[in-house]
Structure 1
Amino acid sequence: MNAVPTTYEIRVDGHLDDHWAAWLGALDLSRARDGTTTVTVSVVDQARLHGVLAALRDIGAVLIEVRTAAAPPR
């Protein structure tokens, strides 16, 4: 198991309201002019990532892209 968190950026179709950030857990929402929202979340394991993806599914969000975010320089 990886003890170092990995940051993911999950882009979904549409603009998610801020209240979903609290419901989905500790994550950031960023809305773009193209009508998409990027959900940024750091997770320590795949189970947490799958939990976020399942929660997005449950609210009807349409996934466009899932990728790891660039790690900040050390």
Structure 2
Amino acid sequence: MNPAGRSYTIRVEGHLDEHWSARLGGLAITHDPAGTSTLTGTVADQAHLHGVLAGLRDIGAVLIALQAGETG
């Protein structure tokens, strides 16, 4: 795998507070007008991605979409 990681966009229901960013792998959180949140950023590897997804599960976020971008 490319050492730079892969970019991801993850959308969840509701507006997440910014303080969750650190717990969710440092991904940037933006609030969408439709009442959802979009997390974007680079994920180092599959273990990191699974950690982010586990963090979303742990805070009760409902996953709407997950999209992988170009390899960094």
TM-score, structure 2 as length reference: 0.87
CA RMSD of aligned residues (A): 1.8
Instruction: Please list every run of at least 4 consecutive aligned residues from structure 1 whose deviation after the TM superposition is greater than 6 angstroms.
Output: none
Q: Which runs of 5+ in 2 are unaligned?
A: none
TM-score, structure 1 as length reference: 0.85
The match for 2:58 is: 58
The match for 1:41 is: 41
Does residue 12 (structure 1) correspond to residue 9 (structure 2)? The answer is no
Q: Distance in 2 between matches of 1:41 and 1:24?
A: 10
Q: Distance in 2 between matches of 1:34 and 1:70?
A: 26
* Structure 1 residues 26 and 63: alpha-carbon distance in aligned structure 2, compared to 1, 3 A threshold: same
The match for 1:3 is: 3
**What's the % identity of the aligned pairs?**
54
